[in-house]
Chains A and B, each alone.
Chain A
């Protein structure tokens, strides 16, 4: 399956790229993508597939957009 990942803020800066296209096996989860990208879960905040909030165990689908936000504090 093809997944378009968008990393937000420091996650994109530390990796050096904001938009990444990945090919993952069927039934892959969001957690699998984070592992594949080497992202530490403790730095990851909101996760969204096609702009809808999901969690680490959510399954991806074909051609979805996964947005990974950093954790935030304050406001």
Chain B
């Protein structure tokens, strides 16, 4: 079966058993792999309404058809589960080497069920699958865990691990690999912790077959040379995501002081040139021709990062302009196993609650010393950390500040202010996993591009199309930093699988996958009532820069949402109509 290994490894941690099953080829055809196929398996296998941290939840690690081939930027792994932070479907992707090792071991996916009685880790080496005692790793950070397991299983193995935050089931704990790569959002690490699964170590020695390897190499090489390695994508190599700091500052969407401002006075200290000045090395994932990773050393602290989302949400949004402090915060979160976006977001929210006198958390904007204590306290669940570990939504329910609790469906905002990128508001409101920049990223077209960011005209269609594009791309598993067309994706997939595939087929698959994620959420009780933004976005004008005086008025937002539902063939409650489901083969 070219492009796929045709096998799924199912692990039951309660029983301590593993079994190899056949991959469902029909589902692979309809949902491609990665994100889409993972959502399909979860949708079919998970009973509605289960507690995301109960043994009933499943954790799916899944590769894509391009994983392990020479197709560039295909090295990421998808992780799919039900989110403990939001209760929605959750899919994350993580870079590094794990996906390729898993596929080389002979599996398209691993489905992890149940809960081990004691902390364990999984060791997968081709046909050999062992559930091993992880007692020695208990309480260790991701870095020490990974290093320990690589000592045991070899430097060429790949390790996915959780830190103390995951063990303690913090609702925004992440899964880490290669020290600084994360499946960051929505609490995937907490699900792993709930299963008493400290890590997965994997090494494979096999290969991946294409229907026509020579043809695939020709097609992929053409895309590599004439599409990937051009000035359209190479910002990811020359700068990486820190490039976005100045773009956001210039366009007034750089979250500052918990989204009270869209510009940050100290942005020069955290912009790309400042990160590049302390850069020591570059890094790419397996098969990546771009290499977005920046190793930096700022003062005493070294990290691979910080990415834009960290520089903005855990930097300017916390009033922190010290690059050294952000690098250290980043390193702490990575080691403890915390998502820097949600950790930064909840810190900023606590800072504002304190400054407004709503509740004194003892932490204020720009307070570097306190800020650097936060990750450790959250991971351990101590004092202030026990409160912040709840996340922004729960904190607002207890202490107040609902209007400026910057979250959707319980997921904290990433680094783009929708008041200066109205399509981004729609993207946050409708993304299946909550306020998320990975479902669609219209900021590139409106704030940073030529479209007017302060209108709803054309935005419903733009967001819908981008959501299909990303759904297809992340199911094939190609990195979001490669701005390739559906045509190029289709040409490579056709060569890999040896059958005709058109751009239209992939676009339709993207729509199918996006709608299936919606169906999952509807089954969990979500509706249009949850497709909303915090009041601050609707009614509090930004004070400075290109967005001075701007909001995204609620009436405009609602119009945009109604247009979006209509374009999607969804009814007013946000439920996909029968015609649409029939068209997509989801009935």
User: Interface on A for B, CB 8 Å cutoff?
Assistant: 8-14, 40, 42-43, 45-46, 48, 51-53, 55, 67, 69-75
Contact = CB atoms under 8 A, between A and B. Distances in A.
A11 B231 contact: yes
A46 B232 CA distance: 13
Given A46-B250, A74-B480, A55 B450 contact: yes
Nearest to A8: B243
B250 A9 contact: no
B251 interface: yes
Contacts of B414: 75
B92 interface: no
Given A51-B250, A70-B243, A75-B241, 5 more contacts: A9-B234, A9-B235, A14-B231, A71-B444, A75-B414
B231 A75 contact: no
Contact of A70 (B232, B251, B443, B450): B232
A72 B448 contact: yes
Interface in B217-260: 230-239, 241, 243-244, 246-247, 249-251
A1 to B, nearest CB: 22
B231 A43 contact: yes
A40 B232 CA distance: 10
The 5 closest A-B pairs by CB, nearest first: A74-B480, A73-B483, A10-B234, A43-B231, A9-B235
9 contacts: A9-B243, A9-B272, A45-B449, A70-B232, A71-B232, A71-B444, A71-B449, A72-B243, A74-B481
A46 B246 CA distance: 10
Contact of B546 (A52, A70, A71): A52
A2 B115 CA distance: 68
Nearest to A11: B231
B247 A72 contact: yes
Interface residues of B, number: 37
A73 B481 contact: yes
A42 B483 CA distance: 12
B482 interface: yes
Most interface-central of A13, A51, A52, A73 (chain B CB within 10 A): A73
A8 B58 CA distance: 44
Contact of A72 (B230, B235, B309, B546): B235
Most interface-central of B235, B244, B444, B448 (chain A CB within 10 A): B235
Contacts of B247: 45-46, 69, 72
Nearest to A45: B448
B7 interface: no
Given A45-B448, A53-B250, A72 B231 contact: no
A72 B233 CA distance: 7
B479 interface: yes
B469 to A, nearest CB: 10
B121 interface: no
B308 interface: yes
B580 interface: no
Given A55-B450, A75-B441, A70 B308 contact: no
A70 B250 contact: no
Contacts of B231: 10-11, 14, 40, 43, 70
B444 A73 contact: yes
Nearest to B240: A9
B60 to A, nearest CB: 23
Contacts of B249: 51
Contacts of A48: 250
Contacts of A74: 236, 241, 441, 479-481, 483
A10 B241 CA distance: 13
B308 to A, nearest CB: 7
A48 B251 CA distance: 9
A4 to B, nearest CB: 16
Given A40-B231, A46-B251, A52-B546, A69 B238 contact: no
Contacts of B450: 55
B291 to A, nearest CB: 13
B437 interface: yes
Contact of A10 (B238, B479, B482): B238
